[in-house]
A = this chain, B = another copy of it.
Amino acid sequence: MAHDDRRLQVLRAIVQDYVSTNDPVGSKALAARYDLGVSPATIRNDMAVLEEEGYITQPHTSAGRVPTDKGYRFFVDRLSAVKPLSVAERRAIERFLDGAVDLHDVLGRSVRLLAQLTRQVAVVQYPTLSRSAVRHLELVPLTAHRLLMVLITDTGRVEQRVVEVPVETDAETVAELRSLLNAAFAGAKLAEASDKVGDLVDNAPPQLRALVAGVSATLLETLVEPSEDRLVIGGTANLARGSALDFPHTVRPLLEALEEQVVVLRLMAEVGPSTVTVSIGEENEHEALTGASFVSVGYGSGDQALGGLGVVGPTRMDYAGNIAAVRAVARYVGQLLAES
């Protein structure tokens, strides 16, 4: 139908115009700027319908229209082509991420990069431990009854815990324990580690059993602790840019939610690799985010994402551009992690 088609065009034009100017957009401006081939009056009729259907709304009578969350949603779903990144942008990504020395560095650079590309707040999650594999388990004796366990994963994460052991342990025993644990766990996905613990303890030489059990228990604990999931956040300064415009009253609740991490992690939990997830305004369950949109995607090779990354910004954001940026950065991060 020619009608519906044009209405879609009108909606699209409204979104684009509003995103770039931040002014409610009126029929006249639309007709002037977007060459829709019809007069303002016609556009007004279409706009009335769009408003009826809930895609746009007027902040007040005698103002132009503004997309609603539903409008953005429709717009995003119909995003025909994701705007490809410019050559300059691709080069910027490479230049930015090249020369990272370790995981911390990779993620730190990614978050800065993403914030810079999108001019929004960027969020990068550390690779989930449970989906990483053990590269090495190190034990460093601290005292006779305390060991420092250091877990190194294939994604480059390093976690450490102090293990209190019931029996006195000398250097030799520690060495034995270390090779035992590494033989058992090295290369194994951490999610599978819990399955192996039982066997491992059973098969351990009797004098080592208590130790193996103790260290294994701590290992498993690190997997479930809340600190298990870490987040790097960057570009919060972008929130201040036009905060008055984008966020009704203050950015405070948003900043709080970001620092809370839990909120963002929950959102991240749902992301899959290669499929960008966009959640818009009210679609976000957490109250502080109801005025914001979240564009995220998983990174990592395989079929299951190692972690997620994304950007948070006003619902009035450049979805096409941000989706492209998020996807591109995720791909590079995935590559970098696969290499190391």
Contacts and interface: CB of A to CB of B under 8 A. Distances in A.
A236 interface: yes
Interface string A41-83: 0000000000000000000000000000000000000000000
A12 interface: no
A159 B102 contact: yes
Contacts of A227: 101-102, 104-105, 108
A235 interface: yes
Interface string A28-44: 00000000000000000
A324 interface: no
A135 B148 contact: yes
A85 interface: no
B240 A255 contact: yes
Interface of A: 101-105, 108, 112, 135-136, 138, 140, 148, 150, 152, 156, 158-162, 222, 225, 227, 230, 234-237, 239-241, 243, 250-253, 255-256, 259, 340
Nearest to A260: B237
A226 to B, nearest CB: 10
A246 to B, nearest CB: 13
A162 B255 contact: no
A148 B230 CA distance: 22
B240 A250 contact: yes
5 contacts: A102-B162, A108-B227, A138-B150, A156-B160, A237-B253
A140 B187 CA distance: 13
A240 B252 contact: yes
Nearest to A239: B255
B340 A102 contact: no
Given A138-B150, A150-B150, A161 B237 contact: no
A254 B103 CA distance: 27
